[in-house]
Structure 1
Amino acid sequence: MASKEATVYIVDCGSTMGEKSHGRPQSNLDWALEYVWDKITTTVANGRKTALAGVVGLRTDGTENLLDSEEDYAHITVFQELGQVLMPQLRKLRQELVVSQTEDGDAMSALIIAIQMIVSTCKKLQYQRRIVLVTDGRGTMQADDLADITSKLKEDNIDLVVLGVDFDDAEYGFKEEGTDETKAENEAILKQLCDDCGGAYGTLVQAVDELGVPRVKTTKPVPSYRGMLTLGNPEEYDTALAIDVERYPKTMKAAPPSASQFVIRSDMAAGEATQSTQTMDGEEAPNGTNDGLAAVKTARTYQVDDEKAPGGKLDVERDELSKGYEYGRTAVHISESDQIVTLYETSPSFDILGFVDKNQYERYLDMSRSNVVVAQRTNDKASMALSSLIHALYELESYAVARLVMKENKEPRIVLLAPNIEPEFECLYDVELPFAEGVRSYKFPPLDRVVTVSGKVLKVHRNLPNDDLQAAMSDYVDSMDLSTFGQDEEGQPAEYGSMDETYSPMLHRINQVVKHRAVYPDTDPPPPYEILTRYSQPPSELLKAAQPALSRVIKCADVKKVPPKARGRRYGRKEAPKPLSELDVSALLAQDPKRSNKQARIDPKNAIPEFKQLLQTSEELPQLQSACGQLKTIIFDWIKHSVGDSGYGRAVEAIRVMREEMAEMDIAAPYNDVLRELQAKLLGGELGGERKEMWYRVRVNRLGLLLAKECEGGVSEEEGKAFLSAAPAAATSK
């Protein structure tokens, strides 16, 4: 069960908070609110009713609190009573926490108001109580009741956190030059108060800087098994070992928040929806706000074939259905009475089956996250017995293999138990192992030798690295070592990118954007925190230092840059194989005046080969257009004089060849013009009557317009899809 929390934030809204200090582009209040919004939105995201928060404004224009009748409590406003904060309250606070026009207001009085809010709400219940004061320390402050405030904070176990705008903090290394006398005195008072009550005092610079470091959520573990860890059968043998243990998860996957599906409510226009929160059932949200959204609800209906029912389908209830198991393409029915036969009856147990040598276990067999097995709490006998087992495994360098059934009638699992011994903690770590049918064995050719078809083993081969390349690659790997590239707090070499410093970019980036959008719904999300992108690329200093080793690898491996594939017929297409006779047939044909480009005609009986030959000798765009025009005339003639669909196959093949040749030559216009004309004539009935079947074949074979991504001068994907999809509608209208 999550612990109860109660936090009151005291935010200084005085006129001095509207200044922009130390070159910051935002006011001191907006800068301070970065910290406050981060904390409050984290509480809102948790959604726990036991996580309470309240907001008190200090040095506000108005006065609204329990003691507003007294002069000492003027210019203090309770913007949010202590309770659960939801999205409507969050948006309301954003409008209220603005810079005021006054400098009056006592921080000590605001502390008394916050203490009273916590005491009246939490009473004597077990709450983690906290007060966070954010101020620039430039208002008047009465220190007469400092001792009473300290005593009350201690008595009610309230933690005090004071964050000052540009406060001096020697531990963090920040000092403001030219601090006025009033601010210096207030800093001393607040620091003394924190020291007396055991609170935390610091500068806001440090707090805002640390916002970029994700906070790892600590969850209370729930045991997945409580019972006996046995070696042998204790029911039959007195020598069997039985230890009361508990099993907890060691690691858990942290998943980002999931999105919910909503729709605009049917009783509201789309433009009426706002961006405030909405209840799941579509009713009015708290505080009377409504964003016009309703949750998407899923409804399932089950139907069976029935000729007598309307539409041939009969609706049935889920309770009337029976389970069917897929066997090939057939559903095999098993009744509930027979279902019992398939149930593998088990009872909760944790039995050690045997032991394996530590050095013989392969780590790739791990199948699940790790769990920790400890002795039963407050059971000294179990602790002593489990400790003996752990030390025996550790000294013999062995692992235990056990069969685990966590709950009744649950499937059994095989787990590996590994000992762990620390100065003040001993346990067994377990990880799930595969069964025999869960292991897939694949054979790959060896990397250090080449085996020929005849069975001969080659140690030297063009596909095998030589000694120089092996040495060069080894040096390159050593030069990219990250284990000592970083520095610790003392400046000594340490691991770069340790586990404690690496965070899931997806998880924390989504949380960052969601929290920002909750407070600022109309602004763009901020850039990701630097720590989330820090380790996405290797450090530039290390790359520069490893460049000589990389150059040696390139030289030893004889690496050559592959030139990019140029587009166009002159560079994109492969050269034709040279004949054994060494005669250039294309050149001989080109010398024949009857076969010149200006006079060459494509024979319909050999259209496709002659079209390709004609393109080989074409040098300019008009020649390409002439060749495509001749083939177009032949295609149209095939379609027009086709008996039924007898000529459609040749026409489709010719269109395909024209499309491929134009794409290879990086020219789209000739083909696209032909296809547009073909579409108009086919759907207009100009090629021998009804020829829509031919256009259907063009669509089925995906012979649409050439796109821009395929060659230069092509159309966009949207235009290409519209060209094909509009064809049936055009045919219908005709």
Structure 2
Amino acid sequence: MADKEATVYVVDLGASMGDCHNGRDESDLDFGMRYVWDKISTTVAASRKTWTLGFVGLNTDETNNTQDEEGLEGYHNISTLQEIGPMTMTELRELHPKVKPCEAYSGDALSAIVVAITMIEEFTKKLKFKRRIILVTNGESPIDDEDDSITDVAEKLNEHNIELVIIGVDFDDPEYGFKEEDKSRAKRQNEETLRKLVEACENGVFGTMQQAVEELSIPRIKPVRPFKAYDGPLTLGDPNKYESAISINVERYFKTKRATPPSATTVVVNPDRGYTQSQAFDDGDVEMGGTEFSNVKHMRKYKVNDPSAPGGKLDVPYEELAKGYLYGRTVVPFSDSDMAITKYETTKSFTIIGFIPFDSYSPFLNMGETGLIAAKKFDEKSEIGLSALIHALHELESYAVARYVQKDGAQVQILLLKPNPGIEDEYECLYDVPLPFAEDVRSYQFPPLDKVLTVSGNVLKEHRLLPNQDLKEAMSDFVDAMDLSGFDVDEDGNPVDYAPIDEVYNPVIHRLNQAIRTRAVHPDGEIGPPPEILLRFSKPPEKLIKKARPDIEALIDAAELKKVPEKAKGRFKEAVKPLSGLDIDAILGQKKRTVISPENAIPEFKQALATAEDDETVEKAVKQMGEIIRKLITNSFADVFYPRAAENLRVLREELIGLDLPLLYNKFLRALKKSLLSGELNGDRREMWFKYIIGGQLGLVTKEESEMSDVTEEDAKAFVKK
């Protein structure tokens, strides 16, 4: 059963919380709510009914709590802004505008804690809950510092097993290394009072908000409970046929599970319903933050040609359809009954089919998530049998290979079973990983890296494609210089692991979760940059790069690396000079191209544009290319030359976009369309327009494709449809 939690946030909303301190450009309330909103949004995202929370405002202008309604003194300016219960997106949006600085300053923090205790007591009763109260304040408002009051509140917290977390804005924390200078006497006294309260609690935490906000960037790993994937016998041989067969009752759990980013859902705004407080409707609609969204529903209709039906099309029910598979150019129908014959029937089983030594297995063959196999609980015979199997595999240095079917009808998996005799961690079990089938293995052959084989069969150890001895030594020194194993050291100067496995987080998952939490709380705010901890291992450390700089320079010299000139952008591109400094065109005796031949139009057109120095030269090349396209269409017998003309048109479009001259292309295409549809190009050429130009997406160049264009997306669509 999932853990039950009841958390109440007590936040100081007094007038002093609206001020900025210690050089921050945000108020104390906004600074503290960064922590609170992150925690609340995490609870909302989990969407667990057993994770409940409430919200109490301290130093509010109004008074709204159970103790004040009963006539008790000392509970003024304390309001219950959110009763304990599951938090939804709608309630989060409703709570957000209520959290703002007020004018009051006389509310008592200890009284607010008592209000939170009462809320938890009434909600959880005697049930098993994880109870927690989180107080956020800057300690500027008066607090009852009598020892009796502190003792009474502490005893109440201990009685109900409630964890008290007090996080103060600009509170001193010697362990974290923060101390506020010029602190007022009242704040110093209130801070000591709250510290005494935490020390009197059996389960209490006292900290400063600076540390809490800083730790928000550290991703929180979602705890996952063990999930039993299999419960049944692990067999060696067939117990139904042979008495010597072994059968051990085992349970299989997932040891590792692949984490995935949260998936998105396609929704549409429902205009038929106004604002509503409901969270879900019977038809699948959901309401989020005052805007109701509906799930997108897909509807498919299947039609066949039927002259007797209205419109020549007949609707066919989905139940009457059959899947078809291409066999050459023929479609072969395959009904559900045929599919049932091809389905491989399986039954639940877990049986060992062989053994292999440790050294004959390569880790790259792992195909999935790791599982853990343990003996069935309270089955002494199975525990002894599995222990004997584990120790036998360990002593023989062998793995077991097993055939695994999780349940009836499931796919067959081949698992590799690794023994864990419990010598180091005192837990005997088998670890398993899926193995590939023969069809999953792809064997590719590559040429050797240390020699070159010639066509005649000679073996060359020295070749321009092979590294020489200097390059090998430079690469070896570079690899040693970039070694991370001894880069990071601890306080005593001993080398430690630079990238511990528990500190390497998936940036895709945690960055997306951070963005979702931010957008949930602040629908119109900006999403901040990713935390540094997610980017820490995305690049080598600067200190290591600086230390290895001589080895990097030596490797560059040994490999004779030269920087490739960047591709020029803009109207006219400067001719790229070879690194050798030689003029290739002069050596080959080539001149700048002025005439484009229809037989080799595309390469010659590109060459003409590459050497163009002004707009006039480009316009001449475009004019020639346009004439070639027109002649291809005019001289085409049916659609023989249409693909060739379309390819020339595509190159013309791409090159003019790259030169920031889309107006030339749009002008030519408008004239070409008029000629095609009017019959000027030797007859009816509408197929060229509809199939090759529109179908090939060779329409007008829009502003989205080039900033120099004067055609909008709507104009381009209208030009195609007109």
Per the TM alignment, residue 391 of structure 1 is displaced from its structure 2 partner at its CA by 2.6
Residue by residue, what CA displacement relative to the aligned partner does 1:574-633 show, whole Å, maximum 9, x if unpaired?
Answer: 956967xxxx6969xx9xxxxxx9xxxx89999989x98997999875873795598589
Q: Is the 8 A contact 1:658 1:671 kept in 2?
A: no
Matched, 1:197 2:201: yes
Determine which of 63, 67, 71 is the counterpart of 2:73. 71
* Cα distance between partner residues in 2 of 1:246 and 1:81: 42
- Aligned residue in 1 for 2:37: 37
Whether 2:520 is the aligned partner of 1:518: answer yes
Q: Does 1:333 align with 2:337?
A: no
Q: TM-score, normalised by structure 1?
A: 0.83
Deviations, residues 3-48 of structure 1 (Å, cap 9, x unaligned):
1111111111122222212111111111111111111111111111
Contact 2:285-2:293 within 8 A present in 1 as well: no
One-letter code of the match for 2:406?
M
Matched, 1:675 2:679: no
Q: CA contact under 8 A between 1:135 and 1:165: conserved in structure 2?
A: yes
Matched, 1:448 2:450: yes
Taking the aligned partners of 1:631 and 1:374, their CA distance within structure 2 comes to: 78
Query: How many percent identity over aligned positions?
Result: 41
Q: Work out which of the residue numbers 178, 181, 185 in structure 1 matches 2:185.
A: 181
1:340-388 Cα distance to aligned partner (Å, 9 max, x none): 5434333222111111111111222111111111222233443333233
1:99-156: CA deviation from partner (whole Å, max 9, x where unpaired) = 1212211122112111111111111111111111112223222242333322222222
The one-letter code matched in structure 2 to 1:231 is L
TM alignment of 1:163-562, pairs within 5 A: 163-198=167-202, 199-267=204-272, 279=280, 290-301=290-301, 306-315=306-315, 317-321=317-321, 330-334=331-335, 336=337, 341-420=341-420, 421=422, 422-488=424-490, 492-562=494-564
* Structure 1: runs of 5 or more not aligned: 591-596
SS of the equivalent of 1:9 reads: strand
Aligned partner of 2:123 among 116, 121, 124: 121
- 1:70-109 map, 5 Å: 70-109=72-111
* Residues in 1 aligned to 2:311 and 2:677: alpha-carbon distance in whole angstroms: 38
Counterparts of 2:666 and 2:314 in 1: how far apart (Å)?
A: 53
State the Cα distance separating 1:77 from its structure 2 match. 0.5
Distance 1:463-1:79 versus aligned 2 partners, 3 A rule:
same
Q: Is the 8 A contact 2:166 2:206 kept in 1?
A: yes
| AA matched with 1:152 | K
Quick check: 102-111 or 659-668, which moved more?
659-668
SS of 2:178 mapped into structure 1: coil
Cα pair 1:638 1:647 within 8 Å, conserved: no
The aligned amino acid for 2:434 is E
For the aligned residue pairs, the C-alpha RMSD in angstroms reads: 4.3
Inter-CA distance 91–633: structure 2 relative to 1 (3 Å threshold): closer
- How far is 1:300 from its partner? 4.4
Q: Establish whether residue 24 from structure 1 lines up as the match of residue 57 from structure 2.
A: no
Cα distance in 2 for partners of 1:644, 1:88 equals 67
Describe the shift of the 1:150–1:480 C-alpha distance in structure 2 as closer, same or farther (beyond 3 A). Answer: same
The Cα offsets for residues 216-262 of structure 1, whole Å up to 9 and x where unpaired, read as 00011211111112222333444333222111111112222222222
Distance 1:361 1:716, change over 3 A: farther
Q: Please say which of residues 115-124 and 526-535 is displaced more in the overlay.
A: 526-535
Q: Which amino acid aligns with 2:296?
A: V
Output the CA distance in 2 between the equivalents of 1:30 and 1:612: 62
- In the alignment, what sits opposite 2:580? none
Post-superposition Cα deviations, 1:39-87, rounded to whole Å, max 9, x if no partner, equal 1111111111111100011121111011112221111110111111112
Question: Where do 1:524-673 residues align within 5 Å?
Answer: 524-565=526-567, 571=575, 575=584, 621=614, 624=617, 631=624, 652=645, 659=652, 668=661, 672=665
| 1:615 and 1:627 in contact (8 A); partners too | no
Task: Indicate the residue corresponding to 1:594 in structure 2.
Answer: none
Unaligned runs of 5+ in 2: 578-582
Q: Confirm or deny: 8 A CA contact 2:629 2:645 kept in the other structure.
A: no
Would the alpha carbon gap of residues 670 and 17 (structure 1) be closer, same or farther in structure 2, given more than 3 Å must change? closer
How many Å apart are 1:635 and its aligned residue? 6.4
Alignment CA distance shift 1:379-1:197 (3 Å):
farther
1:56–1:495 CA distance, 2 compared to 1 (3 A): same
Residue by residue over 1:527-552, the C-alpha shift from the partner in whole angstroms, topping out at 9 and shown as x without a partner, is 22221122222111111111211111
Once the two structures are superposed, residues 491-529 of structure 1 have per-residue CA deviations (whole angstroms, 9 ceiling, x without a partner) of: 532222322112111211111111112111121112222
Secondary structure of 2:228 counterpart: coil
Deviates more, 1:413-422 or 1:625-634: 625-634
Quick one: distance in 2 between partners of 1:314 and 1:487? 76
Once the two structures are overlaid, the 10-residue window that deviates more, 277-286 or 154-163, is 277-286
Mapped contact 1:638–1:651 kept (Cα < 8 A):
no
Question: Residues 150-205 of structure 1: CA distance to partner in whole angstroms, max 9, x if unpaired?
Answer: 22222222111111222222222222233333333332332222222221122222
8 Å contact from structure 2 (residues 702, 713) kept in 1: no
Q: Distance in 1 between matches of 2:495 and 2:521?
A: 42
Shift of 1:313: 4.6
| TM-score, length-scaled by structure 2 | 0.85
The structural deviation recorded for 1:476 is 0.6
Q: SS of the residue aligned with 2:399?
A: strand
Rg larger in 1 or in 2? 1
Separation in structure 2 between the aligned mates of residue 51 and residue 676 of structure 1, nearest angstrom: 63
Q: Is residue 659–residue 703 contact of structure 1 (8 Å, CA) maintained in 2?
A: no
Residues 658, 728 of structure 1: CA spacing in aligned structure 2 closer, same or farther, 3 A cutoff?
closer
Number of corresponding residues: 704
* Matched residue, 1:155: 159
Match of 1:73, SS state, is coil
- With over 3 angstroms needed to count, the CA separation of the structure-2 counterparts of 1:690 and 1:358, relative to structure 1, is same
Distance 1:716 1:688 in 2: 30
Determine the C-alpha separation between the residues in 2 that align with 1:30 and 1:661.
51
Q: Secondary structure at the match of 2:385?
A: helix
